[in-house]
Amino acid sequence: MTALPDLSQSVFSHEEIVALLSVVDPQDVEAVRAAAEKVLLKECGNGVYLRGLIEASNVCRCDCHYCGIRKSNTKVRHYTLAQNDILLLAQQAANLGYGSIVIQTGERQNKTFLDALEKTIQLIKTETVSDALPQGIGITLCIGEQTEETYRRLFKAGAHRYLLRIETTNPVLFSRIHPADQHFETRVHCLQRLKKIGYQVGTGVMIGLPGQTIEDLANDILFFKEQDIDMIGMGPFIPHPDTPLGGVACPDEATRLHLGHMMIAATRLVLRDVNIAATTALQALDPAGRERAFRFGANVMMPLMTPGEAREDYNLYPGKPNLKETNNDYQVSFSAFLNEIGRTLGQNQWGDAPHASRGGGNSPPFSS
Ligand code: SF4
């Protein structure tokens, strides 16, 4: 059994992160969890910030071996939301006090799509201005690898955060779970480009991939630190039956769920002042899995706003919870849950990570 490192320190070696991720004894898990929660409250405060998640299109040019909407999956019914629908959803998010939205799509690089997206971002920024949100709703994009020029255009249009998951920082594992035309180095360059342009940059990994080790996961956390990442969105790997990785052996669900929570805690201890999302993949493995993530250091929640008929088609992994998160009852019960654990809902705020304004990242073009 590996001894726990000093949990009050702020710099952790690879070996120490491996020790954090390896804990299974309930007392040790609680010690790591409590330390992560303490760092979160000290560095980021007790707010939980909401980003309304709009899955605007499930069309994708890529063929990632784990993804349910990969281009080779002929069972996917393709959709792209109309501009007006996206605007209405953004307005609904603003009315609900979310403060921010995430626009997520498959990776599309064609001009028509990108021109329309640029225009949509501009309109959202204008139309969501209110007394509560004087600079409009905050916009995070999650639309994959793009050229530097595209990243610049969309930043100028008003998006100020970008999420691009690296999925794994082990280059050998990366090449095993992606087709030959996708490269680890390209994705790293994209992350660096986004940072240079001024986005607050998010990334993340899948936890419990076939062939992934605890040492790999510790390296993932060190990569987040080296790349000066502002936001983390990661969750357990969930095999999709219609993909090449659908039948490949991986750790059992309980192990992936446990590791999902420990990754959040360890990332909080190492990166300290970044935003970390409690992702729905945690909920897919356990109905309480996502809420539990808030006790392990997460401080961002992404309520699903995609309309009912489209959300079933954005099927990245099976068992994705079909949550009615934009109704009032859910908001009330989520607020009550946060109160119980000493946290508050950060309404009408962009909820940027303190890291982004502490010189750890570039300043956002606007502030709220
Ligand atoms: S993971 Fe993203 S880029 Fe890869 S196939 Fe799925 S939607 Fe496309």
Residue 151 within any structural domain of the chain: yes
Kindly give the number of the ligand 1 atom that is closest to the alpha carbon of 167. Answer: 1
Mode of pairing for the β-strands spanning 300-301 and 344-346? unpaired
CB of 17 within 8 A of CB of 218?
A: yes
Nearest protein Cα to ligand 1, atom 5: 70
CA distance 157 to 50: 22
Residue 143 within any structural domain of the chain: yes
Q: Taking the mean position of all CA atoms in its chain, how far away is CA 197?
A: 20
How confident is the model over 300-313, as pLDDT tens digits?
A: 999 999 987 787 77
Residue 235 within any structural domain of the chain: yes
Quick one: what percent of the chain has pLDDT higher than 90? 88
Residue 364 has pLDDT above 70, yes or no: no
Q: DSSP strand E in 23-156: where?
A: 47-57, 99-105, 138-142
Domain range for 140 is 22-348
Residue with tokens 């489209």: 310
pLDDT for the residue 317: 74
Residue 173 within any structural domain of the chain: yes
Q: What is the DSSP string of 292-312?
A: HHGGGT--EE--B-S-HHHHT
pLDDT for the residue 359: 62
CATH number, position 243: 3.20.20.70
Residue 368's pLDDT band, with cuts at 50, 70 and 90, is very low
Question: What are the C-alpha distances in Å from 364 to residues 45, 195, 310, 319, 359?
Answer: 20, 11, 32, 36, 11
pLDDT for the residue 323: 61
Kindly give the number of the ligand 1 atom that is closest to the alpha carbon of 67. Answer: 6
Q: Taking the mean position of all CA atoms in its chain, how far away is CA 319?
A: 18
CA distance 25 to 29: 6
**Ligand 1 near 142 CB (within 6 A):** no
How confident is the model over 276-288, as pLDDT tens digits?
A: 999 999 999 999 9
Residue 77 within any structural domain of the chain: yes
3-state SS, residue 207: strand
Residue with tokens 């969930």: 238
CB of 161 within 8 A of CB of 138?
A: yes
How confident is the model over 153-203, as pLDDT tens digits?
A: 999 999 999 999 999 999 999 999 999 999 999 999 999 999 999 999 999
Residue 362 within any structural domain of the chain: no
How many domains would you assign to the chain? 1
Using the 8-state DSSP alphabet, how is residue 3 labeled?
Answer: P
Q: What does the block give as tokens for 63?
A: 């063929």
- Residue 106 has, within 13 A of its CA and on its CB side, a CA count of 24
Q: Taking the mean position of all CA atoms in its chain, how far away is CA 210?
A: 21
Beta bridge partners of 301: 50, 278
CA distance 73 to 243: 7
| CA of residue 217 to ligand 1 center, whole Å | 21
| Mean pLDDT for all residues in the chain | 93
**Ligand 1 near 165 CB (within 6 A):** no
Question: What are the C-alpha distances in Å from 74 to residues 66, 69, 144, 243, 314?
Answer: 15, 9, 21, 11, 14
Residue 5 within any structural domain of the chain: no
Residue 194 within any structural domain of the chain: yes
| CA of residue 25 to ligand 1 center, whole Å | 36
How confident is the model over 168-179, as pLDDT tens digits?
A: 999 999 999 999
**Ligand 1 near 107 CB (within 6 A):** yes
- Residue 87 has, within 13 A of its CA and on its CB side, a CA count of 15
Q: DSSP strand E in the chain: where?
A: 47-57, 99-105, 138-142, 161-163, 200-203, 206-207, 231-232, 235-236, 275-278, 300-301, 344-346
Burial of 132 (0-12, 13-18, 19+ CB in 10 A): middle
User: Mean pLDDT over residues 329-344, rounded?
Assistant: 90
Nearest protein Cα to ligand 1, atom 2: 106
Which pTM does this prediction carry?
A: 0.95
Nearest protein Cα to ligand 1, atom 7: 106
**Ligand 1 near 70 CB (within 6 A):** yes
Q: Taking the mean position of all CA atoms in its chain, how far away is CA 61?
A: 21
